[in-house]
Structure 1
Amino acid sequence: MGPTFDAQRNEFSAYVLREEQTPFGLTLGNFKTFASSTPKGGIRGLWDADTDQIIFGAHQIAYRAGDDETLFPHQIVREFTFLPYAQIAEFEIGRDLHVTEAFFVPHGPKHDRVVSFVVDVTVHNASATAKTVRLFPWALLIGQRFYGEPEKEVCATVRGRFIRSFGEETGWVRWWGGSRAPDAVAVALREQTLLQGMMRGTLGTGEHLGEITPHLAEFSSRRIFGAFEYRLEIPPGGREPLRLAVVFHKDGDERSKPVLEQLLADDDALPATERYYAEKLGDARLLTPSPLINRGVVWAKCNMLRVIKEYPQGWGSTNSPPSDILVSRDTSWFVHGYDYLLPQFSRDAIELFNRFIEPSGQVVEYVRGVNGFSTFYDLNVNDDTPLHIIAILHHYNATLDDAWLRGVYPLVTKIADYMLTQRDANGLLFCTAAGEDMFGITSWRNIIPLYKLDGAVTEINAEAYFALEATARLAAIVDDRAAWEKYSAEASALRDAMLAKLFNADTSAFVLNYDTDGNYQDNFTADEVFPVLFEVAEPAVRRAILKRLMESDFTTPVGLRTISTADSWYFPSHGFGLLGGVWPDLTLWFAVALARNGAHHEAAHWLERVYETMEGGASRNTVPGQFGEWFDGGSLTNRGMYLSPWTGAKYLWAVAETVCGLDGYRTSGRPHIAPLLPADWTWTAAVRVHWGGRRHSYVIDAERKIVVGDMDFASADDPYQVYYAGRDVSDEVRTSPVEVGAVAFEDERGAVRIYVCNDRERPRDVVLDFREQIFRQRVDAGRMAEIRIGEPMLVDAMETRVRREAAAPV
């Protein structure tokens, strides 16, 4: 298995691997759908965001070369190429017959809301004689989840070169077919009848049906199958293509069949999808000396682009693809990453939850994206409420949109005031839960069966402290001095209460909680990261907590366990790994906490380990290029989703706010860089990262302690100085090898400064192409070199702002 990384053109990054090296294929999506590939190239789970329904079953292809036996997917061994926007499978079906299957979900302006997937098949005849190949695509024509019943009242009919399946109760329509006229088309109640025809070499025997009614489908548990037979005549050395596609729309034939016909004939469908990813991946290019982290950032962004959806209720990303369940805590953490890549999505996702806040000011647990149902699990307070305020602070800093802040500010104070009403006699936020599991856990670890965690919980109070501090900061921005004084004082009082009632001086750590009966749980868990992350603990205590979490009963090669192996509650997989398993999200919180407390080397170590695990493939039960959900604390293999919707955004946030020096909570009104680099790193860089309402690019030179960028009004932590170098022209530079990044600035006189950024994998002889000029530069491993064209100037960016055109506006 080999990864490739293109620093300048992230869309060209890839993984090439054999079938046995991955447990599953890619999950792809656009604004309205998801679809996934099995390791045998089958496409399954086509889903619709407007109905929250899987609306097409598994799609597979069998092949027959001449009079040879028909080869079914289980008889074919593939080599995969995973791309940001598509999955390529390559294999042979006979002597000198090479097949390529390109699976993608169409994206771009024309197809970004089309519920569809495409498989482009190309058969290459490498021999000196003509060949005949038959293809047999077949599929389950209705949608079915792993839970629940199949769709009811579906009629499937052969309509010329297509198969139409129609929901008589719903009006939903699917059209499926290919770019060529088939030799035969059939629908059937039993899959085996179709497979038998394929084994004989043809579906055209007249034994198959042309229509299946809902009444007939009752005899096969409402399962309906369809198949095509295509015949390709391939000349010597020639290639013959066939495009297969499915299009669904809930509003019937007029919104589905013409779209299928257009898609089948559209040679630009795949290039347009690639262009969409190229444009979006061009933003937030975070570069470091670590090749693992660099790849992790690219594929984190790919994951982020695949999971955002436009639901009837608005924009969001589900916690469990494919689904319309939009969770508030997850959305708040999504915002931390999307602010650097797609701040408009952050805005829209926040606004969706703003519409569903309870009249009291409580933030709900989740909203259904289709019908708008919402719930707070009968909990009076949990992490959703403070995290929403924290997300608003982060998003304001990403946009510096004062008008938006003034509009949302009354809601912020309403939420903050609600939190203050939920304090107990000790001044701590206190949850009274009547149930267990989701109805009894106020923490992020809220899906543990038969478990309860309520009362005064350290995690929730730490978040609430920082949410009150965030409210005070936002009050200062809108010039509400009384509110600033109020919420600053309330934040201090809550922190004091935590130190008095939740901190155990004997252990130099915080208790987990005290419950409704006044009982303390003082076992040390990884939730100790929250009073560190949100700066409740004193600096010495933070360091002691982090040191304890670095011990071997918590750490593993894949990340941080949720609780210690020595804890009496420890079980490596129970409760979705929340009592001893490993969650990458927790490890990323840990990495940020380490970096903010001086452990820069250790922070970078965990950023690398998180993504190294995702590249593990079959040995870790992960799909390279996708972030797995959670890992068994014993076997250290993924036990959750192959594409966790949460983790990509957190990874981008963690890299941006540690080694790339950004601080999403700082309200300075200008970009501020606080480099948190390991001692042996000499540079990091960011290209087209969204911040302060614009896109910015910069390099951090750790040796000279300077930051150079296109920010004409910026600041940095001591001892760094910030300099304005002109406009960003990085996208005009091409590098070879492609792993080497280039960050370039042009000043007002046309002089150019190019920073050549090499990772620590090896020294490289680099060729740069800039405006038809060729430059050659030897760059040592892990080092950054500088090329100057003319006499470029640097201007102190920390002085009073002089208005000039700098970074590209968002």
Structure 2
Amino acid sequence: MIQQLHWGEIQQKRFSAPDTMFANTGRWLYVIGDIDGNFRPRSNPYDLYAFGKPQVGDPLANRLQGVWAQPVKALNGYTFIIESVDDIWPLVDAERFTQTFADVQFEYRRGALTAFRTDFVPKDRPALFTTLTMRNDGTRPIDVWVKFFAYFDLRDAQFTTLGDQPNHGETVQVKGERLVARALRLPKKWAIAIGGAVQSAEVRVTTGQDGHPVGVMKYAAHLEPGAVQAWTIAVVVEMESGAARALKNLEDWLPLRESLLAEKQAQYADLLTCGPRFHSPDAHFNAAFDLARANLQMLEAESRALGRFFYAGLQTFPFWFSADGSYDIQGLLAARFVQSGKNHLQIGAKFDLLGSVPHQRSPSGAIAVNGNAAETPLWVISLWEAYRWTGDRAFLESVYPNAVQGLLEYTLGKLDPSADGYPSGSGLIEREDMGAKKLDSAAYTWAALRALENMASAMGDTATEMRARTRKDRLATGFDAAWWNPAENCYSMSLNESDNSQQPVPHWAVIVPLEVGLASPEHAATTFTTLQAKYMNQWGLKHTVGSDERVWTLPTATLSRAAYRYGQAELGFQMLQQLSTTLDYGSIGMFHELIPDGLSFLQLWSGATFLRGTVEDLMGVQVRADLHAVRVAPQLPVDWEMAELEKLNFGGHTITVDVTRTRLTVNHLSGPDPLTVTYQSPDGSERSMVVEAGNKVQW
């Protein structure tokens, strides 16, 4: 079947399998299904890869599809069925699927009938609208029954429960022309209301094959030749005030269908046109920059417990993750998700019982997984990045005490009894054949000390600034001697607790010392040679040589950053291009978790790190909103004669950066103060000028 993307001037089309997944999202609700209109059972793809089937005891096995208002599920799916005297036509065989980000559209044809299903989730309401439009393309009148089926599945999300115990099941009743479902565990709070915008001939409840209730709404249709008729159904989820509130919201929101859709269309239209935008000779790369921003918008979420934050991915990771936010914060802020991005980081200040930044929280606020040894250092790094991009003093003051406590007392205290700067415990990726001290945790701890040193300086805390600098320099002095493995020509992934003896593993995180700038130039060069010989394939950086040679976007983005940092700009650009390759496979318009496709079909860090790499590495833009300053050191790919980064915003300043082989222009479009612009040329020399808003500088 045909899958296409229509978003402003971005128009794409390709043939795809009918079971390719789609999503439409708002901040309070999302729907996941298949592009032919079906809702096939979906399970954790990690389990499917590891075991070939869902893990035993997984409460969400075969249930990740459908309608979710995290932290709860509402429907396993829904469908329209067209019935005539001699035919039953379930609308699960779409010929064409269209993604616009504001909505999704399915096109069906049978005989003289053409049917269109249009689904959308409002941007700020826990609701879903699905509209069926039918047209008679024949020469004779047609009489049919239109039936809408809602497959209820009121279920808690993974790692959390809305009540004190998991909910198992629901009751569904007909109230007038509405369907009302109540959770068995919290019937006075957790409810769903479903209803149509036009009068139905029948509303009833039956039982599905899985034992859950199925709501049925039936409509009569008579279509003369050329006639068009439409039916809109709304689904409303309520988690606090029960069925009465759900029904009231349904009655209030159903008449607003057109205005709510227009509001969401405007949201994505503004996202596309207001910037930032990227222009180069590579149209695919330019579109990827825009699509990455759309993906971030799709993953922006909100809950009563957490406020606004970002899901790590769909279908697998609709949760708050600390590490994901840490890798993504520059991309989020460059894409103008300022308040949501800052709040995502501030959630990390609510430490777990161990004293660490948690690894994962449910949208309910419950901690799903405690933090690992790399978690707090990554978080501290991201705090400095956020301050650098926003200049928000109040934000810095709110998180600074936790940064000091988390890094100096927990990471370099509880987890580092030997005081060598190498915290013990699980890192980002854990294997049984690794030592207690992990390379990624050690390298990120060094980078976190650098970030804390900068934050302490900004806060005027000279004692902490000196303490962080001393620990940072001490860690760096002995790092290569402890971690460099000459036999493997790269860094060792772990050290043993007792004697710091090396225990290497061929894992992608050997790149982390290069990512953060801790590696010596000689060892960085050797590592690149080793990676290209053993760790890479045509898609990017392998996860683990020999045992899992799939390519994730995050390791590949990490390699890109490391390459740019150590003067390997062409390799860095190649890895950025590989990130955008995911857009050519699977769900259209989506950055996936794997390259070219696989696991989560919509992954936060895939798009965010692409934006980060384009802005900070390829274009070389390093902002200091707190100082009203920016440094620009572009590294054009060899095949490009120009590139332009249009309407980049940071700390109230908006700039456009235009670079050619012979010229760099920085236009200070607007800002609260004059902006100090520094150009760093390829030979490392720097020139600076102060530019008033409305003026530009050129070298």
TM-score bucket (shorter structure): 0.7 to 0.9
Against the structure 1 CA distance between its residues 367 and 167, is the aligned structure 2 distance closer, same or farther, given a 3 Å change threshold? closer
* Counterpart contact for 1:125–1:234, Cα < 8 Å: yes
Separation in 2, partners of 1:487, 1:390: 13
Separation in 1, partners of 2:365, 2:158: 20
Separation in 1, partners of 2:593, 2:536: 17
Separation in 1, partners of 2:503, 2:679: 39
Unaligned runs of 5+ in 1: 192-219, 434-441, 565-569, 573-579, 617-621, 722-795
**Is structure 2 residue 467 aligned with structure 1 residue 486?**
yes
507, 513, 516: which one pairs with 1:525?
507
Cα distance, 1:320 vs. partner? 5.5
403, 414, 434: which one pairs with 2:405?
414
Separation in 1, partners of 2:660, 2:18: 38
- 3-state DSSP class of the match of 1:177? strand
Which residue in 2 is equivalent to 1:369? 363
Matches within 5 A, 1:688-699: 688-699=647-658
More strand by share: 2
Which residue in 1 is equivalent to 2:145? 134
- 3-state DSSP class of the match of 1:354? coil
Cα distance, 1:138 vs. partner? 0.9
- 3-state DSSP class of the match of 1:364? coil
Which residue in 2 is equivalent to 1:799? 689
Separation in 2, partners of 1:115, 1:5: 25
CA offsets, 1:371-419, max 9 Å, x none?
4336536x6xx11111111101110011112343244333322233223
- 3-state DSSP class of the match of 1:520? coil
* Counterpart contact for 2:377–2:444, Cα < 8 Å: yes
**Is structure 2 residue 617 aligned with structure 1 residue 625?**
no
- 3-state DSSP class of the match of 1:592? helix
Separation in 1, partners of 2:689, 2:146: 68
Against the structure 1 CA distance between its residues 23 and 556, is the aligned structure 2 distance closer, same or farther, given a 3 Å change threshold? farther
2:345 is aligned with what amino acid?
I
Against the structure 1 CA distance between its residues 22 and 590, is the aligned structure 2 distance closer, same or farther, given a 3 Å change threshold? farther
Which residue in 2 is equivalent to 1:436? none
Separation in 2, partners of 1:626, 1:140: 27
1:247 is aligned with what amino acid?
V
Which residue in 1 is equivalent to 2:88? 70
1:30 is aligned with what amino acid?
G
30, 39, 46: which one pairs with 2:35?
39
CA offsets, 1:107-160, max 9 Å, x none?
2xxxx1x22222122112233443334322112123358989995462212222
* Counterpart contact for 2:412–2:423, Cα < 8 Å: no
Which residue in 1 is equivalent to 2:661? 702
Separation in 1, partners of 2:597, 2:393: 46
Separation in 2, partners of 1:503, 1:699: 40
Unaligned runs of 5+ in 2: 40-64, 160-164
Which residue in 1 is equivalent to 2:566? 597
| RMSD of aligned residue pairs (Cα, Å) | 3.1
Which residue in 1 is equivalent to 2:443? 462
248, 261, 268: which one pairs with 2:251?
261
Which residue in 2 is equivalent to 1:384? 375
Aligned length: 650
CA offsets, 1:51-87, max 9 Å, x none?
x1112221112123x534111245x342111112221
Cα distance, 1:668 vs. partner? 5.7
Cα distance, 1:306 vs. partner? 1.7
- 3-state DSSP class of the match of 1:81? strand
Cα distance, 1:302 vs. partner? 1.8
- In the superposition, the TM-score normalised over structure 1's length comes to 0.74
Which residue in 2 is equivalent to 1:25? 21
1:102 is aligned with what amino acid?
T
* Counterpart contact for 1:713–1:797, Cα < 8 Å: no
Separation in 1, partners of 2:2, 2:94: 18
Separation in 1, partners of 2:135, 2:504: 66
343, 346, 349: which one pairs with 1:348?
343
- 3-state DSSP class of the match of 1:138? strand
Against the structure 1 CA distance between its residues 658 and 153, is the aligned structure 2 distance closer, same or farther, given a 3 Å change threshold? closer
Against the structure 1 CA distance between its residues 375 and 4, is the aligned structure 2 distance closer, same or farther, given a 3 Å change threshold? closer
Against the structure 1 CA distance between its residues 452 and 688, is the aligned structure 2 distance closer, same or farther, given a 3 Å change threshold? farther
Q: Which structure's CA Rg is the greater one?
A: 1
Matches within 5 A, 1:212-227: 221=211, 223-227=212-216
**Is structure 2 residue 321 aligned with structure 1 residue 327?**
yes
Separation in 1, partners of 2:81, 2:149: 8
Separation in 1, partners of 2:153, 2:486: 61
**Is structure 2 residue 677 aligned with structure 1 residue 715?**
yes
Against the structure 1 CA distance between its residues 667 and 485, is the aligned structure 2 distance closer, same or farther, given a 3 Å change threshold? farther
Cα distance, 1:235 vs. partner? 3.0
- In the superposition, the TM-score normalised over structure 2's length comes to 0.85
Cα distance, 1:270 vs. partner? 1.5
Against the structure 1 CA distance between its residues 716 and 34, is the aligned structure 2 distance closer, same or farther, given a 3 Å change threshold? same
* Counterpart contact for 1:670–1:713, Cα < 8 Å: yes
87, 90, 104: which one pairs with 2:104?
87
1:41 is aligned with what amino acid?
G
- 3-state DSSP class of the match of 2:578? helix
Cα distance, 1:99 vs. partner? 1.3
* Counterpart contact for 2:655–2:666, Cα < 8 Å: no
Which residue in 2 is equivalent to 1:298? 290
Cα distance, 1:350 vs. partner? 1.3
Matches within 5 A, 1:281-680: 281=272, 282-314=274-306, 315-319=308-312, 321=314, 325-341=319-335, 342-356=337-351, 360=355, 362-373=356-367, 376=370, 382-418=373-409, 419-421=411-413, 422-423=415-416, 425=418, 427-431=420-424, 433=425, 442-446=426-430, 451=432, 453-505=434-486, 507-518=488-499, 519-551=501-533, 553-564=534-545, 570-572=546-548, 580-616=549-585, 622-630=586-594, 638=598, 640-663=599-622, 669-680=628-639
Against the structure 1 CA distance between its residues 287 and 73, is the aligned structure 2 distance closer, same or farther, given a 3 Å change threshold? same
* Counterpart contact for 2:144–2:220, Cα < 8 Å: yes
116, 119, 133: which one pairs with 1:100?
116
- 3-state DSSP class of the match of 2:550? coil
* Counterpart contact for 1:25–1:41, Cα < 8 Å: no
1:45 is aligned with what amino acid?
G
Against the structure 1 CA distance between its residues 644 and 718, is the aligned structure 2 distance closer, same or farther, given a 3 Å change threshold? closer
Which residue in 2 is equivalent to 1:16? 13
Separation in 2, partners of 1:571, 1:637: 19
Cα distance, 1:338 vs. partner? 1.0
Cα distance, 1:806 vs. partner? 7.7
Cα distance, 1:714 vs. partner? 3.7
* Counterpart contact for 1:503–1:509, Cα < 8 Å: yes
* Counterpart contact for 1:57–1:144, Cα < 8 Å: no
Which residue in 2 is equivalent to 1:57? 76
Cα distance, 1:424 vs. partner? 5.1
**Is structure 2 residue 218 aligned with structure 1 residue 229?**
yes
Separation in 1, partners of 2:80, 2:122: 20
Against the structure 1 CA distance between its residues 714 and 292, is the aligned structure 2 distance closer, same or farther, given a 3 Å change threshold? farther
Separation in 2, partners of 1:21, 1:610: 22
* Counterpart contact for 2:350–2:357, Cα < 8 Å: no
Cα distance, 1:663 vs. partner? 2.8
Against the structure 1 CA distance between its residues 87 and 524, is the aligned structure 2 distance closer, same or farther, given a 3 Å change threshold? same
Cα distance, 1:365 vs. partner? 2.4
- 3-state DSSP class of the match of 1:581? strand
CA offsets, 1:409-461, max 9 Å, x none?
33322233223324354713231x4xxxxxxxx22224x6xx35442222111
Separation in 1, partners of 2:157, 2:402: 40
Separation in 2, partners of 1:700, 1:401: 29
